Amino acid sequence: MHAYTPLSSIAAILLIGVLVAAPAAAFAVGFENIHATKGTMYSSPTVANWIVYVGCWDHNIYALNAGTGMKIWNYTTKGAVASSPTVANGIVYVGSYDGNIYALNARTGGKLWNYMTGA
C-alpha cells in the first residue's frame, strides 16, 4: 500500500483532469488550511457534484469544495479511514478501521446508518 500526503493525493486528482475547471492552486491552499499535516492518507479521493470526499488517518471523512478546497463537513469515526469513499444517489459509503461501513448524507455528512462488519 502506498501512502500519500493529503495534498499530493488531492493534487493528483486535479492533475489527471477529473476537475479540469477547478483552480488547483486555490484548492491546494484551502485544503492545506483545513487539514494541515494531520497525518498520512491511504484513501483515494472521490469527486461527485463538485465535492471531493476523502477518508483520513485522523479518523475523519471529509467533504471539500472541489473549487476551493474548503471543508464543507467532516464525520468522525472511531478508527482510521483508509478505504476510498464512493458516492451514489446522494449517499457517501465508506469503511473505517473501527469495523463499520458508514452511509452518510453527501450534502450534510449526517450518518444515515452504519453496519458493523465484525472485523
Task: Output phi, psi for 67, to 5 deg.
Answer: -85, -30
User: What's residue 43's pLDDT?
Assistant: 86
Cβ–Cβ < 8 Å for 117, 100? yes
Q: How far apart are CA 106 and CA 32, in angstroms?
A: 22
pTM over 0.85: no
Domain boundaries, the chain: 6-86
User: What's residue 119's pLDDT?
Assistant: 64
pLDDT at 31 over 60: no
pLDDT at 8 over 90: no
Which pLDDT band holds residue 110 (cuts at 50, 70, 90)? Answer: very high
Q: At what angle do helices 24-35 and 6-15 cross, to 10 degrees?
A: 160
pLDDT at 93 over 80: yes
Domain 6-86 = CATH 1.10.3470: no
User: What's residue 118's pLDDT?
Assistant: 79
Residues 53-71 have pLDDT tens digits of 999 989 999 999 999 989 9
Q: Which amino acid is at 57?
A: W
pLDDT at 40 over 90: no
